[in-house]
Structure 1
Amino acid sequence: MRMLTAASSILQELERTLQGVRPDEIAALAERVASSQAIFVAGAGRSGFMMRAFAMRLMHMGFRAYVVGETVTPGIAADDLLVVGSGSGETQTLVAMAAKAKSLGAVVAVLTVVPESTLGRLASDRVVVPAATKDGAAGTAASGQPMGSLFEQTLLLLLDTIIMHLMERKALEGAAMFSNHANLE
């Protein structure tokens, strides 16, 4: 019974957090993605895994999507988009990456708990996720989950929301996307 109580608590936290995200910020990011020539994604740790999942879904939809740091990722160029997931908005490797992308003329977008963070200030587009940071920084939401779990879970759901919006916009169904799915498994 304890397991079900924990799962219920997680779902309640997710619902509360998702209701706190501004729909206009998600819509703006979806439009930015749709209008970009190439989309690069980055994140550290578990947030990075969520960003990788986003890149994979974008690729399934036919977008030119890349994960920063992979050996097959090309250079970013003017008018390309870098989407960064960072709860704190202060991860130094991600800050340096965003600054470099911006200096090359790329657009930077961030999904973060802390909009006034360094990444938040560098970004043209921000999606504020009212979750807890992994260090439990003052002013962030409380969570019964460890470290940044609430942010990471919310990040995945928000990115899937963008995918669903883009699927609707392009009149795509999951079956149509399957043609771009890996087939050497």
Structure 2
Amino acid sequence: MNYEQYADTVLKELQHTLQAVDAQKAEAFTTMLDEADEVFCAGAGRSGFEVKGFAMRLMHMGLKSYVVGETCTPNIAKGGLLVVCSGSGATKSLVNHASKAKEVGAKVALITIDPNSPIANMADLVIEISAPSPKSAKQTDMKSIQPMGSLFEQSEGLFMDIVVMMLMARRGMDADTMFGRHANME
């Protein structure tokens, strides 16, 4: 295959996964974000990179958002929301984070491949992204030309970007209002 064929196939895979996400759950996730006192974002590996970008966009919107594990992240409390990105929904450190969040009365939203995972069983909201991954216990009929969990990781990032746009619309914001909070010490 050449570059154009790879690009076309990857775009079709992304279209399939994003259009398969439950739109009502996307709305519910947007509401959870809008109503949370603070948003804590957690993920491992490439999912961790994706959720860090999401935390940054929430900060650009003026939300109190943090990345779990960073030195300046405060404690989570009741009224807080933990957003976990985990294809397997079973990564031990993330299971521990979700357990702690529930223990203090915070809400948990999970973006995952496996809606029957340990974190899903604790979560207030589970957003399923139907993508194949060797890390997930859930088997899917979909095949991907991409290696490992790439399709899930890309899809979760795009899903979170779409939710940011939904939240922007809800709050009457545009890119110009958000840019005022962009880093100026780069």
Question: What code does the residue aligned with 2:156 have?
Answer: L
Q: Distance in 2 between the 1:180 and 1:16 partners? A: 34
Q: Is the 8 A contact 1:40 1:68 kept in 2?
A: yes
Partner residue, 1:65: 65
Q: Give 1:135 shift.
A: 3.5
Q: Name the amino acid aligned to 1:45.
A: G
Are 1:184 and 2:185 matched, yes or no?
yes
What is the one-letter code of the residue matched to 1:33? L
Q: CA separation of 1:57/1:138 partners in 2, compared to 1, >3 Å: closer, same or farther?
A: closer
How far did 1:70 drift? Answer: 0.4
Query: Which one is further off, 137-146 or 97-106?
Result: 137-146
**How big is the shift at 1:179?**
1.0
Q: 1:159 maps to which residue? A: 160
Compared CA separation, residues 38 and 136, structure 1 to 2 (3 A) = closer
The equivalent of 1:170 in structure 2 is 171
Q: Could you tell me how far 1:134 is from its partner in structure 2?
A: 3.5
Contact 2:55 2:67 in 1 (8 A): yes
User: 1:54 corresponds to which residue?
Assistant: 54
Instruction: Report the more deviating stretch, 147-156 or 136-145.
Output: 136-145
Cα offsets for 1:53-83 (capped at 9, x unmatched): 0000000000000000000000000120000
Deviating runs (4+, > 4 A) in structure 1? none
Equivalenced residue count is: 185
1:116 corresponds to 2:116: yes
SS in 2 for 1:180: coil
Q: Is the 8 A contact 1:37 1:79 kept in 2?
A: yes
The aligned counterpart of 1:88 is 88
Task: Provide the residue aligned with 1:38 in structure 2.
Answer: 38
Name 2:10's counterpart in structure 1. Answer: 10
Can you give the 5+ residue segments of structure 1 that lack an aligned partner in the other structure? none
Instruction: Give 1:149 deviation, angstroms.
Output: 0.4
1:106 paired with 2:106, answer: yes
2:126 aligned residue:
126
Q: Structure 2 unaligned runs (5+)? A: none
Q: TM-score, normalised by structure 1?
A: 0.97
Q: TM-score, normalised by structure 2?
A: 0.96
SS at 2:37 equivalent: coil
- Superposed displacement of residue 133, structure 1: 1.8
Q: Report the CA distance between 1:171 and its aligned residue.
A: 0.9
Alignment partners' CA distance in 2, 1:33 and 1:138:
27
The separation in 2 between residues aligned to 1:26 and 1:125, in whole angstroms, is 10
